């Protein structure tokens, strides 16, 4: 899961997922990274705890406005 976290953080920092942008669905990320959706959920939860991602009920998961600091 560390590689997944590192790659997501890299994509946030390089602007692939800029602040305010919505992350792809868990299913799509699971397909891209060839991992289970539960692994994606754990990674997203960790990044939410760190303040990198924010959840918006009914809308999805978004990159925090302060994520590129």
Ramachandran assignment for 37, one of left (phi > 0), alpha (psi -120 to 50 degrees), beta (any other): alpha
For 4-40, write each residue's pLDDT tens digit: 999 999 999 999 999 999 999 999 999 999 999 999 9
Assess whether pLDDT exceeds 80 at residue 68: no
pLDDT number for residue 67: 74
CA–CA–CA angle 30, 48, 20 (5° rounding): 85
Tokens 């305010």, located at residue: 20
pTM: 0.88
For 30-61, write each residue's pLDDT tens digit: 999 999 999 999 999 999 999 999 999 999 99
């Amino acid at each position: 899961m560390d590689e997944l976290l590192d790659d997501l953080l890299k994509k946030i920092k390089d602007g692939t997922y800029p602040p305010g942008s919505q992350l792809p669905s868990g299913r799509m990320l699971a397909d891209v990274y060839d991992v289970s959706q539960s692994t994606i959920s754990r990674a997203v939860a960790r990044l939410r705890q760190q303040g990198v991602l924010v959840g918006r009920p009914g809308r999805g998961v978004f990159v925090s406005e302060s994520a590129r600091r």
